[in-house]
Copies of this chain bind each other. A is one copy, B any other.
Amino acid sequence: MPKNIFNITPSPLTLRRLAKYLCLLNQFSQGENPEISSAKLAKIANIKPSQLRQDFHYFGGFGKPGHPYDANLLKEELLKVFGLEKPLHLLLAGATPWAATLIQCPSLPSLNVHIKGVVDFTAGTIDDEFSNCPLISTSNLAEFIERNQISVGVICANEPETYLRLLIEKGLTVFWNLSPKHLIPPLGIRIQQESLMCGLLPMVYELRKS
């Protein structure tokens, strides 16, 4: 079970906010020794400062009383919260626009997350590329996963089932599903669903009901 320093599993809400703080720091902190207070960062994140400090408190706090946070230190500590002091290696499944979107996304490398390749059923057997990223054929897959220490498979195709089956077969157990289809995870397999619609629809609610 994932635990913090108080041996309590932090709530998904807290984890999402911590991820948000990290992204905002990457974007908004600049200069040699940038400082940022809970009040400033909370204002950008659109929450209360006390909530931000409570979120940090679950992990022991990242500052010293009387002084704003050191933005660089805070970034490092937040990366550690997510275990990203060591790089994380992804394999994308499906040479689709979704895959291209991730490959071109500047946030991933800044979070120490690295895309090592794209697997596609239509890929040839050697030296192919997709959007400047190695394109892997299914026959080379097992060796590629092993050699590149892939820990997460990212499903980028609208029909996710065949890619899921393939990657489970090759030994992956953790997946990020970007396809709009909900996947029911087999035993022992962890699938994080990412549904764009769950972000769009609440906004539409506001728009149409106001």
Contacts and interface: CB of A to CB of B under 8 A. Distances in A.
A198 B84 CA distance: 14
Number of identical monomers bound together in the oligomeric complex = 2
Contacts of A152: 203-204, 207
A168 interface: no
B199 A82 contact: no
A174 B104 CA distance: 25
A24 interface: yes
A88 B12 contact: no
A65 interface: no
A209 B2 contact: yes
A27 B101 contact: no
A61 interface: no
Interface residues of A, number: 61
Contact of A192 (B27, B106, B199): B199
22 contacts: A15-B205, A16-B198, A19-B198, A19-B201, A20-B195, A22-B197, A23-B182, A23-B197, A82-B204, A82-B205, A82-B208, A83-B204, A83-B208, A83-B209, A84-B208, A97-B98, A101-B101, A111-B197, A113-B200, A152-B204, A192-B202, A194-B200
Interface of A: 1-3, 12, 15-16, 18-20, 22-24, 27-28, 44, 81-84, 88, 96-98, 100-102, 104-107, 111, 113, 131, 151-152, 158, 174, 176, 180-182, 184, 190, 192, 194-210
